[in-house]
Amino acid sequence: MQSVARVAVTRLWHRHLLLAALAAVATPTTQAEEAPAPLQALSERGARVGEAFDAPGGMTGYTITLRGRTMAVYVTEDGEHAVVGTLFDADGNNLSRKRIAEAASKPQAENVWSRLTDSRWIADGSEDAERVIYVFTDPNCPYCHGFWQAARPWVDAGAVQLRHVMVGVIKQDSVAKAATLLAADDPSGALTEHERTQSTGGVHPLDDLPTSARTAVERNNRLMHDMGYYATPTIIYRNEEGRIRQKQGQPRGETLTRIMGGPAPQQ
């Protein structure tokens, strides 16, 4: 039990406290019925429960994914309580890190990529680009505009294609603007013109928006929410090992270079 005594950055949650902490979330997991009671409570509030693994002190470990974040959970031997956080052994070794990393790269990540591919997006860059990056983009978001500008060297060189999953979450007319861009005869050209004229307001919403375009934006909004993202831009990409990673907010410096796959191409 010595290693259990060294647990750090954790809190012991009683079942009713777990319920209260996660009451705002509502996307169930299919593994709920196989999990102990505290994890069933988490699952009912939106947590996706991963596979069980052996843990010290008679506990059973699980990984859970909630609002886009993967965490380790340790269930006590009686199955009635759960510890959420990082487990250290007597030598200070982090016993949770490897489990979390493994879980984060498993099929649920591929499901994220598949759902993004099937969403309604606007292509920005060559179809032959080696690197594809998805971006939740609000037409009124100044940080989305900042990322669009910063990405030009890679996009213009044909190295990266951005796929803008258009959402409307910032201002009252965001949905209408996003739908107008999706409904354009040339959505890619319309998006480029919108970004180039951001200082004067960009695209003007259509008076008679196609229902299909508005519905597409609303679905993208739900997709963004379901994936646990709350900021624009949210950028989803594959790292050099092929693992799916995300960045919320405008990336700069080394973070931008990493997301884009390397230094900006020479002009």
CB atoms inside a 10 Å sphere around CB 117: 11
pLDDT of residue 18: 39
Domain of 236: which CATH number?
Answer: 3.40.30.10
Contact present, 74 and 100 (Cβ < 8 Å): no
The pTM assigned to this predicted structure is 0.64
Query: Tens digit of pLDDT for each residue in 200-246?
Result: 889 999 999 999 999 999 999 999 988 878 889 999 999 888 888 88
Q: 132 and 216: one domain? A: yes
Q: Is residue 267 part of a domain?
A: no
Average pLDDT, the chain: 83
Mean pLDDT of 37-64: 82
Q: Which of 114, 117, 152 is nearest to 256 (CA)?
A: 152
Vertex 183 angle, CA 182 and 188, to 5°: 50
Least confident of 85-94, 134-143, 157-166: 85-94
Tell me how long the chain is.
267
> What is the SS3 assignment for the chain?
CHHHHCCEEEEEECHHHHHHHCCCCCCCCCCHHHCCHHHHHHHHCCCEEEEEEECHHHCEEEEEEECCEEEEEEECCCCCCEEEEECECCCCCECCHHHHHHHHCCHHHHHHHHHHHCCCEEEECCCCCCEEEEEEECCCCHHHHHHHHHCHHHHHCCCEEEEEEECCCCCCCHHHHHHHHHHCCCHHHHHHHHHHCHHHCCCCCCCCCCHHHHHHHHHHHHHHHHCCCCCCCEEEEECCCCCEEEEECCCCHHHHHHHHCCCCCCC
Q: Can you give the pLDDT at residue 106?
A: 55
Please report, rounded to a whole number, the percentage of residues in the chain having pLDDT higher than 70.
82
Percent of the chain topping pLDDT 90: 50
- Does one domain contain both 131 and 245? yes
> Is the same domain home to 39 and 129?
no
* Interatomic CA distance for residues 214 and 230, integer angstroms: 20
Let me know whether 148 and 22 are in one domain: no
Q: Is 3 a residue whose pLDDT tops 80?
A: no
Number of domains the chain is built from: 2
Instruction: Tell me if 265 is assigned to some domain.
Output: no
Spatial distance between the Cα atoms of 143 and 134, rounded to a whole number of angstroms: 15
Same domain assignment for residues 252 and 208: yes
Which of 51, 72, 104 represents a domain boundary (last residue)?
A: 104
Q: How confident is the model at residue 53 (pLDDT cuts 50, 70, 90)?
A: confident
pLDDT of the residue at 110? 67
Cis? peptide before 233, omega within 30° of 0? yes
Q: What is the pLDDT of residue 111?
A: 80
Per-residue CA distances from 69 to 158, 162, 250 (Å): 32, 24, 19
pLDDT score, position 23: 34
Segment 235-263 mean pLDDT: 93
The answer, yes or no, to whether residue 24 has pLDDT greater than 50, is: no
Position 49 scores a pLDDT of: 79
Model confidence pLDDT, tens digit, residues 73-127: 889 888 888 888 888 888 888 888 877 776 665 545 668 899 999 999 999 999 9
Which domain covers residue 40, as residue numbers?
A: 2-104
Domain shared by 13 and 66, yes or no: yes
pLDDT (tens digit per residue) in 202-213: 999 999 999 999
pLDDT at 47 over 70: yes
Q: Between these two residues, 206 and 42, which has the higher pLDDT value?
A: 206
Q: Assess whether 81 and 131 both reside in one domain.
A: no
Q: How far is CA 142 from the centre of its chain?
A: 20
Range in 2-11, 92-101, 134-143, 155-164 with the lowest mean pLDDT: 2-11
- For residue 64, the model assigns a pLDDT of 82
Clarify whether residues 201 and 254 are in a common domain: yes
